[in-house]
Amino acid sequence: MENNLLTQALAKFFLGVIILGILIFLPAWSLHYWQGWLLMGILLVPMFVAGLVMLAKNPDLLRKRLNAKEQEAEQKTVVKLSGLLFITAFVVAGLNWRFGWWVLPDWAVWVAAGLFLASYLLYAEALRENTFLSRTIEVQENQKVIDTGLYGIVRHPMYMATTILFLAMPLVLASPFSFLIMLGYILVIAKRIKNEEKVLEEGLVGYAEYKKKVKYRILPFIW
């Protein structure tokens, strides 16, 4: 069973590597786009290590993270919009580097890379605290409300981490134009959170009370 899970995880990982490489380097029309290699490194190496850790320590969590088939119609729209944003942002970043429209200085790229890695740690902590985190919107068997740690500060720390991660990506690629495109992710994640909280409030005991206790969704004192 675990061998099947490993095979599935590796297949998805390497498919992701290929697709990401195409989206970054084909528009740039060069393998000398070092910012693209930097992004692939800081994105894929921690992802690979995290996958191995989950396989060893919590295979059920890895299985949930690999399942991307949404049941909610509204979330299917969110997934499509997110995919469109990513594809557009990566293609524009490659074209931006190729034609030199507006390329960020190296120091800004490295600052964005540091922010990206810090957000990755935040993401990992959210996964550690809440083993019910799946990639789809659902109420799982025996699921309970988590209200400690990061979940005592905001209701969706994973979305807080991914928002920072996704906004840092175009900056690592040295493309302000792609950053402007990725700002649309804020609207997409707001739509996802609205639907997710509706599903959780209807199906998860104690979630309505949790919403009253922890007032902010992803940004303390703001949202």
Residue 52 is part of a domain; what is its CATH number? 1.20.120.1630
- Number of domains forming the structure of the chain: 1
CA-CA-CA-CA torsion sign (199, 201, 206, 209): positive
In a domain, 88, yes or no: yes
Q: Which amino acid is at 145?
A: V
**Domain boundaries, position 85:** 2-213
221 assigned to some structural domain = no
Does the residue 89 lie in any domain?
Answer: yes
Provide the whole-model pTM. 0.90
pLDDT of residue 199: 85
CA distance linking residue 216 with residue 78, whole number of Å:
21
Q: Which residue has the tokens 């989950």?
A: 54
What's residue 73's pLDDT?
66
Q: What pLDDT tens digit does each residue of the chain (223 aa) get?
A: 467 888 888 899 999 999 999 999 999 999 999 999 999 999 999 999 888 888 888 887 777 777 666 666 667 788 888 899 999 999 999 999 999 999 999 999 999 999 999 999 998 888 888 876 655 556 666 678 888 899 999 999 999 999 999 999 999 999 999 999 999 999 999 988 988 888 888 888 888 899 999 999 999 888 8
Confidence (pLDDT) at 93: 98
Q: What is the signed CA dihedral for 9, 11, 14, 20, rounded to 10 degrees?
A: -90
Q: Is residue 174 part of a domain?
A: yes
**Amino acid 54: pLDDT:** 83
220 in any annotated domain:
no
Can you give the pLDDT at residue 215? 92
Tell me what pLDDT residue 16 has: 92
Is 109 exposed, middle or buried, given 0-12, 13-18 or 19+ CB atoms closer than 10 A?
A: buried
- Within a domain: 219: no
Give the pLDDT confidence score for residue 99 in this predicted structure: 97
Q: In the prediction, which pLDDT does 186 show? A: 93
**In the structure encoding, which two tokens stand for residue 96, read together?**
């931006």
Q: Is residue 19 part of a domain?
A: yes
Residue 17: per-residue pLDDT? 95
143 located within any domain: yes
Q: What was the pLDDT predicted at 34?
A: 98
